[in-house]
Amino acid sequence: MGVMGFASASVLSSKLAAFLVLGLVLNLGLVCNGGKTSTFVRKVEKTVDMPLESDVFKAPHGYNAPEQVHITQGDQLGKAVIVSWVTVDEPGSSKVLYWSANSKKKTAVGKFYTYKYYNYSSPYIHHATIRNLEYNTKYYYEVGIGHAKRQFWFVTPPAVGPDVPYTFGLIGDLGQTFDSNKTLTHYELNPQKGQTVLFVGDLSYADNYPNHDNHRWDSWGRFVERSVAYQPWIWTAGNHELDFAPEIGETKPYKPYTHRYHVPYKASGSTSPLWYSIKRASSHIIVLSSYSAYGKYTPQYDWLEEELPKVNRTETPWLIVLVHSPWYNSYNYHYMEGETMRVMFEAWFVKYKVDVVFAGHVHAYERSERVSNIAYNIVNGICAPVKDQSAPVYITIGDGGNIEGLATNMTDPQPAYSAYREASFGHATFDIKNRTHAYYSWHRNQDGYAVQADSMWFFNRYYHPVDDSTSAQS
């Protein structure tokens, strides 16, 4: 090669080096230039479980009075409700009496179940499904037939359709501490008035007690009855539902949870209550299990691969996913625990334009921008999150108030994908307005009931896929 050849090569090499350095700087800017880390400082207090003699745990009066009453959706379309309750003295009746203002009283007949866990024997756990309900109707129901009857009510959702407004509450990792009680009260008194709770896992934290004391499953059921007996909670299983304890002879995962909390998994073709889907109003909600196998050829993988193409966005434009372990998490707690599931499923979420993914597990709050990290193929080295308007917003809402306390240690600097994060207890609401817009807000426990500590307008990825990022709205 002549002198000119070397000079040309040198210039080309310098330009290439400058381009690579610029690319590296831009890439570092993407990863390190984060959003907002809240300056709110919560008073440092130990998170303590409420004593069992607290009024929120009191059993109802009367012989064999039904307790721990809770409801969830009982089919895929919202025309059925699963009613569950517990009796202590004897099995009693598994019948539910129900009626609306314009109908005669009808009866649904269920079954009861029991289980043993180490040295604990459960009370009688009843489940009955009320079917063929009318949409958008208030129903009253009674349980405890033949003994101490108790009456409750619920309102069915509107018929499934693209412009049906509906408001969901979001709660995760609740437990049964004084802070848990504040979270539930805050949700109940929020003027936004959630109609159904999307619960992202970790219910009672009974496994934090010696031998996974299942009496704490009972106390938790009595604690949340004041809400879940009147509006459905859509259940997601978390790690504290596993109750896998071979050291005390308990080797069947999810035993207490699956006996106590039934879901309509068969209606969506699932083979397990740990992953399933429902339609409610204008939303299609997919529930996944972080702690069940999800590799290729596993039942959960196969089910999700078939489920996502079934979602009809002209019928249910809002595609929502619930999972316990977050895929994007900038706290040092449970850091990257959701990574393998993200690698398996994130490309599907982008392909099918999932609107939002709600997770728990990390005991704090965080909301992401719309990002994806799906380009990596082992040899190309492309492994950083990038802005992607076809990707979901990822929200961690594991801040219900449980006994393990807050996650306060964050990664520093805040990554670019993280739009807002704060170590406080609270809850959120997702208020669907129509097929194009939904309003989301997060509420910390320390504020007034109407105060929004974080919020954003969601633009539907199917009908209105314009930039709804924090920077675009500010």
CA distance 145 to 221: 20
**Would you give the DSSP letter of residue 112?**
E
What are the DSSP calls for 175-203, one per residue? -SBHHHHHHHHHHHH-TT--SEEEE-S--
Helices 299-307 & 339-351 angle (0-180, nearest 10): 20
CA distance 138 to 104: 13
Work out whether strand 116-117 and strand 95-100 pair parallel, antiparallel, or are unpaired: unpaired
| CB-based contact 98:140 (threshold 8 Å) | yes
* Residue in 127, 240, 284, 334 annotated catalytic: 334
As a three-state string, the secondary structure of 201-218 is: CCCCCHHHCHHHCCHHHH
| CB-based contact 279:316 (threshold 8 Å) | yes
Q: Which candidate, 270, 219, 261, 269, places its Cα nearest to that of 238?
A: 261
- Catalytic (active site) residue 61: no
Q: Per residue in 46-58, is it b (16+ CB within 10 Å) or e — as a string?
A: ebebbeeeeebbe
What are the DSSP calls for 411-438, one per residue? -SSPPTTEEEEE---EEEEEEE-SSSEE
CA distance 212 to 198: 25
What are the DSSP calls for 12-47, one per residue? HHHHHHHHHHHHHHHHHHHHH---EE----------
To which H or E segment does residue 458 belong? Answer: strand 454-459
- Please list the active-site residues: 334
